[in-house]
Amino acid sequence: MRLRTASALAGITAIALAATACGGEGTGDSGGEAAAGTLVIWTDPERADAVEQSAAAFAETNGIDVSVNAVAFEDMQGDVLNAYQAGNAPDVFIGAHDWTGNLVRNGAVQPIELPQDRADLLDSTSLEAMTYDGQLFGVPYSQENIFLMRNTELAPEAPRTFEELVEAGSALKEDGEVSEVLSMAVGQEGDPYRMNALFTSAGGYLFGQDDTGTWDPADLGVDTEASIAAMERIAEYGEAGEGVLRRSITTENDAALFFDGEAAFFVAGPWNIADADASGIDYAISPIPGFEDGGPASPYIGYQSFFVTEGSTNTALAEEFVTNYVTDTDFILDLYAADPRTPVQAEALESVSADDPNIGAIAEAGTEGMPMPSIPEMGETWQPLGVAQAEIVGGTDPAKAMESAAATISEQIGE
- Enumerate residues 186-225 that contact other proteins by CB under 8 A: 188-189
> Is 70 a residue that touches other proteins (CB under 8 A)?
yes
The one segment of 154-162, 282-290, 322-330, 357-365 that binds other proteins by CB under 8 A: 322-330
The amino acid sitting at 272 is: N
The one segment of 151-159, 242-250, 284-292, 365-373 that binds other proteins by CB under 8 A: 242-250
- Nearest CA to 207 out of 370, 77, 366 is that of 370
Which residues within the stretch 90-119 sit at the binding site for other proteins (CB under 8 A)?
101-102, 104-107, 110-116
Compare residues 214 and 404 and give the one whose CB is closer to other proteins: 404
> Is 412 a residue that touches other proteins (CB under 8 A)?
yes
Smallest separation (angstroms) from other proteins to the CB of 169: 15
> Is 88 a residue that touches other proteins (CB under 8 A)?
yes
**Cα gap 210→287, rounded to integer Å:** 27
Answer for the pair 299, 195: CB distance below 8 angstroms, yes or no: no
Smallest separation (angstroms) from other proteins to the CB of 318: 8
Which residues within the stretch 21-40 sit at the binding site for other proteins (CB under 8 A)?
23-24, 27, 30-31, 33-34, 36-37
E-strand stretches of 79-146? 92-96, 131-132, 135-136, 139-145
**Cα gap 139→321, rounded to integer Å:** 10
Compare residues 85 and 350 and give the one whose CB is closer to other proteins: 85
> Is 55 a residue that touches other proteins (CB under 8 A)?
no
Q: Which residues contact 93 (CB under 8 A, 6 or more apart)?
A: 41, 42, 43, 71, 76, 80, 306, 307, 309
The one segment of 45-53, 120-128, 209-217, 287-295 that binds other proteins by CB under 8 A: 45-53
What SS3 state is found at 8?
Answer: helix
Among 315, 329, 353, 410, binds other proteins (CB under 8 A): 315
The three-point CA angle 28-34-36 to 5° equals 125
Compare residues 59 and 333 and give the one whose CB is closer to other proteins: 59
Answer for the pair 374, 98: CB distance below 8 angstroms, yes or no: yes
Compare residues 29 and 174 and give the one whose CB is closer to other proteins: 29
> Is 384 a residue that touches other proteins (CB under 8 A)?
yes
Among 271, 296, 347, 353, binds other proteins (CB under 8 A): 271
**Cα gap 144→285, rounded to integer Å:** 14
**Cα gap 350→367, rounded to integer Å:** 16
